């Protein structure tokens, strides 16, 4: 049996994790191994990235029978959309590891490695059962990392996020099984492969609606989309930095990815039909979470809401049904992951050094830690969408896309982005810049490792902002394929 490069990318971290778990290795060496693994994965992903042909085809495919009786395949592949998320993951994870360098236990690193395996597995799966397998499997290390290393009422938060996400995924499971059975009735043999499932044509509208709802529920909870966000606040504020980093910058995006990868090709008609609902839901989320963020005193909670706010905007983009919106959404996935991920790391450090999470109790950080402040500022500008950062490009494109979809929605979204971003400056001013006499003498500036970890993110934020075409050309054919071939929209 042969393994391709994608399998190696999935299973290498898992293998290292189990090896570390079994062998009597110290926490320090486990960390070194984890970092080394993430670098290896980065190199492998770079190879994939540069060998990826600029077409809309599925590439690097692997295909093996897994459970023959029910046509479950071990089927992997990537297209342009998964490629950029993959590249993102490969860059983010080693950077984050540099930030989490000190004071973590073995279990922490093992969980991080397992989460990485789960994420990439989810990203590559081209079989619905395999996808579910990773999607659900990914939850276990998240469960562990929040429960074991979180703060506050961590056990309750853990149970809450687990129950929420499993509720969603179980209904998705039913939908998957139903699709498999429908395929069997349709064609006379079993298969759960995506390329087969999309051919189903014997479902009634009512059936399709329910199945669509089953999938959307799972993804909406993961993103989270209003009104399925109630797990968000507690989980983000009680998670350890590494956990919240992965949750916000990568796992939430997988919800969006799932919509594009599965919901769009399987239910193209419903996707178009319900697009207005989700566009408005996204815009509403942008506003609602933006306002909620503004009112938070706890800085972590504020970022949690601001993150959800942008995810709403991403959803608006992917449902805008045109190339601007979708490209913008893909771009915002990257931009947001870098900026929010970076911010959570920075805030995590601040919390670690000072033990303070409340914005009014902070202030004067800029004087104590200038490098910290610079990076904080770059991330913040990307979130706000200042021209010259990748945040600007992506938000601009989504607004354009929304205009194309519906001018009213376009106007609202353009205004909302401004509102939703304004609080960021306010926070920056209060927590970092202002000299209000609070005692922040415990704050230390970034170490060399932390600077090295943050540099790629900062560099990409600006590079992607100045010359976005570097990144567009890989994904453009894929987006075109989604719109023209799958959704059959011509514009």
Partner 1 sequence: MVSADFIYLLPLFFVGLGAIVLMIVSTFKAVTIRQGAILALIFLVLAFIANTFNMASGDEVYSVYPFEEVFNKMVIVDTFSGYFSIILILGAILTILIGLHYFERRKEFTVEFFSLFLFSVFGMMFLVHANELISAFVGLEIASLSLYVMIGFEKVIDRRIEASYRYLVLGSLAGIFFLLGTAFIYGATGTTTIGIIGDMSLNTFSTNQGLLIIGGTMILITFLFKITAFPFQNWALDVYDGAPLPVTAYMAATFKAAIFGFILRLMIVDFDLIRDFWDNALVYVIILTLAYGSFLAVIQRSLKRMLVASSIVHTGYLLIGFTSISALGESAASSIIFYLIAYFLSALGAFGLISYITSDDRLRVTYDDFRGFAKIRPYMAAMLSIFMLSLAGIPSTIGFIGKFYIFTGAIESGNTVLAIVAIIATFISIYYYFKLIAVMYFYRSPELTNVPPLKGIAPTVIAFIAIAIIWGGVGNTLIAYFPGVDFLIDMAKASYNSLFIG
Question: Helix axis angle, 390-405 relative to 323-354, nearest 10°?
Answer: 140
Query: What is d(CA 184, CA 177) in angstroms, rounded to the nearest whole number?
Result: 11
Q: What does the chain come to in residues? A: 491
Nearer to partner 1, 149 or 472 (CB): 149
Q: CA 443, 445, 449 angle in degrees (round to 5)?
A: 130
Under 8 Å between Cβ of 369 and 443: yes
Nearer to partner 1, 70 or 284 (CB): 70
Under 8 Å between Cβ of 334 and 409: no
What's phi and psi for 193, nearest 5 deg?
A: -75, 140
Under 8 Å between Cβ of 146 and 108: no
Nearer to partner 1, 166 or 433 (CB): 166
Nearer to partner 1, 166 or 484 (CB): 166
Min separation Cβ 136 and partner 1, Å: 5
478 C-beta neighbours (distance < 10 Å), count: 25
Nearer to partner 1, 174 or 455 (CB): 174
Min separation Cβ 147 and partner 1, Å: 4
Nearer to partner 1, 181 or 297 (CB): 181
DSSP bridge pairs for 127:
193
Min separation Cβ 155 and partner 1, Å: 5
What's phi and psi for 460, nearest 5 deg?
A: -65, -35
Nearer to partner 1, 179 or 314 (CB): 179
Place of tokens 């969980």: 111
Min separation Cβ 13 and partner 1, Å: 15
Min separation Cβ 149 and partner 1, Å: 10
Min separation Cβ 177 and partner 1, Å: 5
Q: What is the DSSP letter of 188?
A: S
What's phi and psi for 23, nearest 5 deg?
A: -75, 150
Nearer to partner 1, 64 or 449 (CB): 64
Q: How far apart are the first and last CA of the chain?
A: 45
Nearer to partner 1, 158 or 478 (CB): 158
In order of 72, 110, 128, the CA distances from 197 in angstroms are 12, 35, 9
- Which tokens belong to 188? 């006379």
Min separation Cβ 357 and partner 1, Å: 21
Q: Which residues contact 439 (CB under 8 A, 6 or more apart)?
A: none
Query: What is d(CA 324, CA 322) in angstroms, rounded to the nearest whole number?
Result: 6
Min separation Cβ 137 and partner 1, Å: 5
Phi-psi region of 71 (alpha: psi -120 to 50; beta: other; left: phi over 0): left
Min separation Cβ 140 and partner 1, Å: 7
Min separation Cβ 307 and partner 1, Å: 25
Which residues of the shown chain bind partner 1 in the complex (CB under 8 A)?
1, 64-70, 74, 129, 132-134, 136-137, 140, 143-144, 147-148, 154-155, 158-159, 162-163, 166-167, 170-171, 173-174, 177-178, 180-181, 184
Min separation Cβ 129 and partner 1, Å: 7
Nearer to partner 1, 14 or 246 (CB): 14
Under 8 Å between Cβ of 4 and 120: no
Q: b/e per residue, 413-446, with b = 16+ CB within 10 A?
A: bbebbeebbebbeebbeebbbeeeebebeebeeb
398 C-beta neighbours (distance < 10 Å), count: 31
What's phi and psi for 62, nearest 5 deg?
A: -130, 145
Nearer to partner 1, 49 or 143 (CB): 143
Nearer to partner 1, 17 or 454 (CB): 17
- Which tokens belong to 26? 């110290």
Under 8 Å between Cβ of 326 and 271: no
Cα-Cα-Cα-Cα dihedral sign, residues 315, 290, 383, 418: positive
Query: What is d(CA 8, CA 272) in angstroms, rounded to the nearest whole number?
Result: 37
Nearer to partner 1, 69 or 448 (CB): 69
What's phi and psi for 3, nearest 5 deg?
A: -115, 135
Min separation Cβ 106 and partner 1, Å: 10
Min separation Cβ 337 and partner 1, Å: 26
């Amino acid at each position: 049996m042969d393994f391709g490069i994608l399998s190696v990318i999935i299973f290498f971290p898992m293998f290292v994790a189990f090896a570390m778990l079994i062998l009597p290795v110290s926490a320090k060496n486990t960390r070194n191994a984890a970092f080394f693994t993430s670098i290896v994965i980065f190199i492998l992903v770079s190879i994939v990235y540069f060998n990826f042909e600029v077409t809309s085809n599925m590439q690097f495919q692997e295909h093996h029978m897994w459970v023959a009786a029910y046509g479950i395949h071990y089927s992997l592949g990537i297209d342009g959309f998964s490629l950029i998320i993959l590249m993102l993951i490969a860059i983010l994870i080693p950077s984050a590891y540099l930030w989490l360098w000190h004071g973590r236990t073995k279990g922490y690193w093992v969980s991080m490695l397992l989460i990485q395996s789960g994420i990439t597995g989810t990203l590559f799966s081209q079989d619905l059962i395999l996808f579910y397998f990773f999607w659900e499997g990914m939850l276990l290390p998240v469960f562990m990392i929040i429960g074991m290393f979180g703060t506050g009422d961590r056990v309750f938060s853990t149970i809450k996020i687990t129950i929420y996400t499993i509720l969603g995924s179980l209904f998705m499971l039913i939908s998957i099984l139903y699709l498999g059975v429908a395929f069997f009735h349709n064609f006379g043999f079993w298969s759960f492969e995506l390329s087969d499932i999309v051919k189903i044509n014997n479902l009634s509208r009512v059936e399709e609606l329910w199945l669509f709802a089953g999938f959307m529920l799972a993804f909406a909870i993961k993103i989270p989309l209003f009104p399925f966000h109630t797990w968000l606040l507690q989980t983000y504020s009680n998670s350890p930095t590494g956990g919240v980093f992965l949750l916000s910058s990568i796992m939430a995006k997988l919800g969006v990815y799932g919509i594009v990868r599965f919901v769009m090709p399987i239910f193209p008609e419903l996707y178009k039909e319900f697009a207005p609902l989700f566009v408005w839901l996204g815009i509403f989320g942008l506003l609602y979470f933006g306002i909620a963020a503004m009112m938070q005193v706890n800085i972590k909670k504020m970022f949690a809401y601001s993150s959800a706010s942008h995810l709403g905007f991403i959803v608006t983009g992917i449902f805008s049904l045109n190339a601007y919106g979708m490209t913008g959404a893909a771009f915002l996935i990257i931009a947001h992951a870098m900026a929010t991920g970076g911010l959570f790391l920075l805030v995590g450090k601040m919390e670690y050094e000072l033990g303070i999470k409340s914005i009014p109790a902070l202030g004067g950080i800029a004087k104590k830690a200038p490098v910290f402040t610079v990076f904080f500022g770059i991330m913040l500008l990307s979130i706000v969408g200042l021209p010259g950062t990748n945040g600007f490009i992506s938000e601009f494109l989504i607004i354009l896309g929304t205009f194309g979809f519906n001018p009213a929605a376009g106007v609202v979204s353009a205004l909302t982005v401004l509102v939703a971003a304004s609080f960021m400056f306010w926070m920056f001013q209060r927590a970092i810049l202002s000299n209000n006499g609070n005692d922040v003498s415990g704050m230390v500036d970034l170490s060399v490792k932390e600077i090295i970890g943050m540099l790629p993110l900062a560099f990409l934020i600006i590079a992607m902002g100045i010359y976005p075409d570097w990144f567009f050309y890989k994904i453009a054919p894929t987006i075109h394929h989604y719109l023209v071939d799958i959704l059959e929209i011509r514009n």
